Amino acid sequence: ENNKNQEKRKTMGIIGQVMSLPNMLFWYGAWLTASVARPVMLATVLCMLANPKAAQSKLKLIGMTFQFLLLSKDKKWKKTEEDPASFFKDENDPKIRKKTVIFLRHGESTWNDTFNKGDRKLGAFIMGFFPGVLKSFATEWYFLVSGQCDESWFFDSPLSAKGISQAESVAKFLRETDVQYAPPKEAHLLRLIKGDDPAGKCQLISSNLRRAISTCCIALQDRLDKRVKDDKILILEELQEASINPDALSISPPLAPLVTAFTDSERVKEIYATQTDTSQNIGNKPLKSNGLVRMEAFCKLLFDNTHITADSVMCTGHSYWFRAFFQTYLPKDFNHVCKKKKLVNGGVVGFSMWHKKTDKGEDKYMIDPNSLVVLYNGF
């Protein structure tokens, strides 16, 4: 009987220890946090005082983030009820102007790596979430105290290692795909992208966010390495992602050299400096702007032939903006996965964009549904 009681007490003791473990971990964590927080805060303040210009720049970004989180309606706009197809009933109408547009979605960003599950298994994402958040905040803190005001994990988030690999896979696809064996539509688009189409030039355009610019630099490096005169990447705020998150805020100043990232290679930084055109980049999107405003502005730029002079363009941009563009300018009765799902990281799709001025002088636009071609990866 005594032996049984001893075994029972021993078992209860073990259970008690196990039950108290979360409590112990909580209080130990609280003690550790309190012990570390004070010297870290003191070191942060001293470093910021030693480099006030960098600190001011970073605090300005933080302030702008809260402005957008609280006040911006960048992803909210009234959906139009009119069908684009109603203005383009006769495809042979001489008033219709056409241009070829190719979309390339950027590779995964550091923000995506931290907060988005992506293609990871749920268990792996959950297990790695807290360490990933800790790493990202530690990196951001290091940039702050070291005075690197232009570097950030969160603001205008750059490509992650995976994102760089995704951009490189696009470059490999373009390099290894033999155009002569591709179907006619795909072959035509591939020649345009590579800059090998004798019939006309394909102008390179990118959003003003770093992950998009870097993706364009890496994916199109073979073409850019030819250093053809005036073959530069036009940077446009109109392609900036529709989002209120800090990763969608551009940190590059308006009409000025672009800000590179800590994940960019030397060749990518060289392209930023010598093979981009920032003459039309107005900087970060206005607080009162939204995705629809920028889409309409892009369409107008596309056809006014002032800054976009080529009949074909390749635009490196973002998933939500691209999906909203398809939803807005494809015919209402045309069902396609692009209206429901996002273009994957490194995905490439091409189509023909139509423009017509109505009798009232209004500009109308439509994507020709028969021209839609998925070149790489898809949705």
Could you give the percent of the chain with pLDDT greater than 70? 90
119-151 pLDDT tens trace: 889 888 888 998 999 999 999 989 988 888 889
pLDDT band with cut points at 50, 70 and 90 for residue 7: low
pLDDT attached to residue 9? 62
267-309 pLDDT tens trace: 999 999 999 999 999 999 999 999 999 999 999 999 998 899 9
- pLDDT reading at 97 higher than 70: yes
What is the 3-class SS of the chain, one letter each residue? Answer: CHHHHHHHHHHHHHHHHHHHHHHHHHHHHHHHHHHHHHHHHHHHHHHHHHCHHHHHHHHHHHHHHHHHHHHCCCCCCCCCCCCHHHHCCCCCCCCCEEEEEEEEECCCEHHHHHHCCCCCCHHHHHHHHHHHHHHHHHHHHHHHHCCCCCCCCCCCCCECHHHHHHHHHHHHHHHHCCHHHCCHHHHHHHHHHHCCCCCCCEEEEEECCHHHHHHHHHHCHHHHCCCCCCCCEEEEHHHCCCCCCHHHCCCCCCCCCCCCCCCCCHHHHHHHHHCEECCCCCCCCCCCCCHHHHHHHHHHHHHHCCCCCCCEEEEEECHHHHHHHHHHHCCCCCCCHHHCCCCCCCCEEEEEEEEEECCCCCEEEEECHHHCEEEECCC
157-199 pLDDT tens trace: 999 999 999 999 999 999 999 999 999 999 999 999 999 988 7
- pLDDT reading at 247 higher than 80: yes
pLDDT attached to residue 304? 92
